[in-house]
Amino acid sequence: MSNKIYDVKLQDGVAVVTVDAPPVNTITAAVRSGLEAALDEVEKLSGVKAIVLACKGSTFFSGADIGEFSGPPKEAEYRHLFARLENQNVPVVAALFGTSLGGGYEITLACHYRIANSRTRIGFPEVNLGIIPGAGGTQRLPRLIGAEKALDMIISTKMVDAKTALEYGAIDKIADGDVNAAAVEYAKELVAAGKGPRRTSEMKVAPETATPEIFAAAEATAKKLYPNRIAAQTAVKSIRTATEKPLNEGLLVEEKLGNESKLTPESKGAIHVFFAERATRKVTDIPADTKPRVIAKAGIVGAGTMGGGIAICFANAGIPVTVLDTSDEALKRGLSVLEGTYDSMVKRGRLSPEDKAKRMGLIKGTTNYADLSEADVIIEAVFENMELKQKIFAELDKVAKPGCVLATNTSTLDVEKIGEATKRPQDVIGLHFFSPANVMPLLEIVRTPHSSAETIRTSVELAKPLKKTPVLVKICYGFVGNRMMEPYGREAERMVMEGATPREVDTPMEKWGMAMGL
């Protein structure tokens, strides 16, 4: 593809525009400029009967460039590019694969048809960033799939898979294998069938999906899901505009509301958190070429609340895990509670019975330390007692294979002292999960002066499949989370002792944005 960010090829009357912008085809200014240039080339070609918009790499367009949000508004650039796509006089087919969020999916709404492979996921995460979809999502999506489903997708921020997207009408076809090749064949089929452009700008929002009751319910959901935040309510307002105005006017309303939302403290804080969480995976004081060890099997010492929750994290990630406890009775009790967690997920429709069986099949129990000998990481999760933890680590030192990461889930104790019970302090580290471990996203990674670069890198990378946000800290009492919470709790207790009621303490903090008060 030379040095250009795009390539244009004519295949049997189908102009294939392919973008290659590693790592995830973010729609940056360079990508937008490249697409404009690609359309210039396409419009000069003769014999074009259809156009396919495709990407190379691991995913179709992943989304907009969040780094641009703090700069001058870019909506006009998106509008111009998307209008050019939509106003082509031949069918334009988008070939989706991977994960397309926000602007990455919005560009397909300006195309006329959408085909995706079976593993594709789409969604709108903008509300989590304190903003609304700003490249036509609140205007084109309700025209395509109805206001009710559009409201749900945008307010909930949940991604939908290809099967669900097809049911919604958000895509037109699911392809097996190479979706780019399938898109070319689909384009040919459309031409052969006499199908021309199908523009969302010419569609109307189905009235039965946009009743006052539906919008009232959406507003109530927005307030319930995001108390003290306004982005979701702003999204509802913008989607309502799609039912009242033509697309060109609706896009201007969306732009106005979107730019206003970017200036709110809510948005500035959420975007700061977004970049801060991404930065947590960068460890600047170990060699950049440090490779993580492969984590294919895990071990947990302790089948209690924390141990069971951590085991669920590994099973959810598809990593076999062995849970050790001191007796068959304790083990049976712990595994029963663990299975109950999965049963609750099945009951609530968050997990299929088949998936539950698959995940439970990855978890086994034992009372024998030798059964942890094949684990690549072992996490101790017993109660806070230094002597007990050192005893456990001494046992692990005898059975764990070379290079196994030996981790403690301690919340306050000195990880270095725990590691003194072993002959491999370079492999010892703290992995502090927060309760409930299978739900809370924070993972404190507590390095000791002896933790090797490999051990640190492995621990940070392990957070990704476990769906945790890693925060690397050094040894100090309470590390980061509990060290911050203790002053809050201390001051709350003082206020109650001085005469305030617990509700009088909690309510102002809840209004400020702390979901559970203090």
Q: Which domains does the chain have, with CATH numbers?
A: 6-270 (3.90.226.10), 298-479 (3.40.50.720), 482-512 (no CATH)
| Predicted pLDDT of residue 249 | 96
Residues with Cβ < 8 Å from 31, sequence gap 6 or more? 5, 19, 21, 25, 61
* CA–CA distances in Å: residue 247 to residues 44, 60, 199, 242: 28, 25, 11, 7
In Å, how far are 75, 344, 374 from 320, measured between CA atoms? 47, 21, 11
Token pair 């937008």 is found at: 32
| pLDDT for residue 445 | 97
The 3-state DSSP class for residue 159 equals coil
The catalytic site residues sit at 106, 126
* 241-268: burial string, b at 16+ Cβ within 10 Å, e else: bbbeeebeebbebbbebbeebbebebbe
Residue 1's pLDDT is 45
Instruction: Give the tokens for residue 322.
Output: 């062995």
| pLDDT at 2 exceeding the cut of 60 | no
Summarised one tens digit per residue, pLDDT across range 340-391 is: 999 999 999 888 999 999 999 999 999 999 999 999 999 999 999 999 999 9
Distance CA 167, CA 322 (A): 40
pLDDT greater than 60 at residue 336:
yes
Cβ atoms within 10 Å, residue 101:
21
C-alpha 298/C-alpha 431 separation (Å) is: 13
- Gap between the Cα atoms of 371 and 363, Å rounded: 13
- What is the model's pLDDT at position 3? 67
Beta bridge partners, 16, equal 9, 52
Nearest to 174 by CA among 132, 232, 115: 115
DSSP letters spanning 32-66:
HHHHHHHHHHHHH-SS--EEEEEE-SSSS---B-G
pTM of the model: 0.81
- Least confident among 13-27, 72-86, 131-145: 72-86
Instruction: Indicate the angle between helix axes 305-316 and 353-360, nearest 10 degrees.
Output: 110
Contact present, 122 and 170 (Cβ < 8 Å): yes
Calculate mean pLDDT across residues 213-232: 94
The proportion of the chain whose per-residue pLDDT surpasses 70, expressed as a percent, equals: 99
Helix (H) or strand (E) holding 250: helix 247-262
Closest CA to 214 of 186, 190, 243: 243
Strands 50-55 and 14-19: parallel
Chain centre distance of CA 505: 33
What mean pLDDT do residues 427-448 have?
94
Instruction: Dump pLDDT digits (tens) for 120-132.
Output: 999 999 999 999 9
Encode pLDDT of 240-255 as tens digits: 999 999 999 999 999 9
